[in-house]
Structure 1
Amino acid sequence: MDILFYRLDGSTLEATVTTFAERTLARGGRVVVRGTGAARLDMLDAHLWTYRDDAFLPHAQAGGDHDADQPVLLTTSTETPNAAKTLLLVDGARFDPSEMPQFERVALIFDGSDEEATALARDDWRQVMQTDHTAVFWAEEGGRWVEKARSS
């Protein structure tokens, strides 16, 4: 499996998470978005309710009675009660390589202008390279995502 690294250089985290979630749901999948803090997840939650007047993206923050039913679940936990096969890691959320078999797609999204976030992403890249997974680095160019590097 490929572990995807997305460096934000122009897009916002909110827009990138929304695009990932929309595309995953369109394919019939589910998403778990793992963050590190409740305040940021609150902002993502608000964004997903209001990002477009003509669309609805079903989602919730973890901790409710219906977590297992949610197509998109926002959480700080390593648990995946909605059985999502796509994991989005945001705001420095980390992963353990031992949990990767439960996912079909893993993407680490980080702010390219944040030195600490970039350093954490580099640490995660090195960690992926010690597994049998492939690390794939994507960056924005002219408003599009372009693959820049792939571990061997």
Structure 2
Amino acid sequence: MTRVDFYHLTRSPLERALPRLLMRVWRSGARAVVLAGSLERVRTLNSLLWTFDANTWLPHGCVDDGHADRQPIWLTDHEERPNDATLAVLTDGMVVADPGAWARVLELFDGHDAAAVAAARERWRSAREAGHALYYWQQTEQGGWTEKARANDPDTADGEGRNGARD
């Protein structure tokens, strides 16, 4: 069973939230692939991750950088795993062919875009029916995250779960 986390962006755009989430991924030792909607978007995010904080270094790369196998975080516009990633980070409405092929999937979606919200709800339903462990996170006023819902959670008796806050 794959863990799928839905991140509902309501307070800040992807460009502010993504670097913080990727720092957590990198610090955990996981290898990730970030799927973006186009090669242009990949290049924009690549540049952003080098410059989002002058005091922070987040190792990553994309097709322009090469050495994909050495990159703990790989940005791409199509599903691939050149860095042996176990974690997929989905942006811009991107999807993976089989969420079950990943240890964990993070889906970030814009809460101010009705179509993005509707699509995320549909993917939640589909992933729930497939038996994946689901977690829904909403941004707090401070830009952190509050867990709002769970489904198919192996840590609770009924598969539904607790609410909690995280930054």
The verdict on a shared fold, with TM-score over 0.5 as the criterion, is yes
Who is 1:110 aligned against? 109
- Give the Cα–Cα distance (whole angstroms) in 1 for the partners of residues 112 and 32 of structure 2: 26
Secondary structure at 1:23 match in 2:
helix
Q: How do 1:1-150 and structure 2 match up within 5 A?
A: 1-62=2-63, 65-96=66-97, 98-101=98-101, 103-143=102-142, 144-150=144-150
Unaligned runs of 5+ in 1: none
Runs (5+) with no aligned partner, structure 2: 153-167
- What whole-Å deviation, never above 9, does each CA across 1:32-56 have from its counterpart, x for those lacking one? 1011112222221111111111222
The structure with the larger Rg is 2
Cα distance per residue 1:34-93 (max 9 Å; x no partner): 111122222211111111112221111136541111111100111111111221000000
Q: CA deviation at 1:24?
A: 1.5
Give the distance between the partners of 2:117 and 2:93, measured in 1 at CA.
Answer: 9
1-structure distance, mates of 2:133, 2:112: 24
Inter-partner Cα distance in structure 1 for 2:66 and 2:14: 27
Moved more, 8-17 or 55-64: 55-64
Amino-acid identity (%):
33
Task: Check 1:141–1:20 CA distance in 2 against 1; reply closer, same or farther (3 A cut).
Answer: closer
SS in 1 for 2:116: helix
Residues 17-44 of structure 1: CA deviation (Å, up to 9, x unaligned):
2112111211222111011112222221
Residues 123/133 of structure 1: CA separation in 2 closer, same or farther (3 Å cut):
same
Greater relative contact order structure (CA < 8 Å, 6+ sep)? 1
Give the partner amino acid of 1:133. Answer: H
Distance between the aligned counterparts of 1:65 and 1:39, measured in 2? 16
**Aligned partner letter, 1:149:** A
SS in 2 for 1:83: coil
- Higher alpha-carbon deviation: 19-28 or 85-94: 19-28
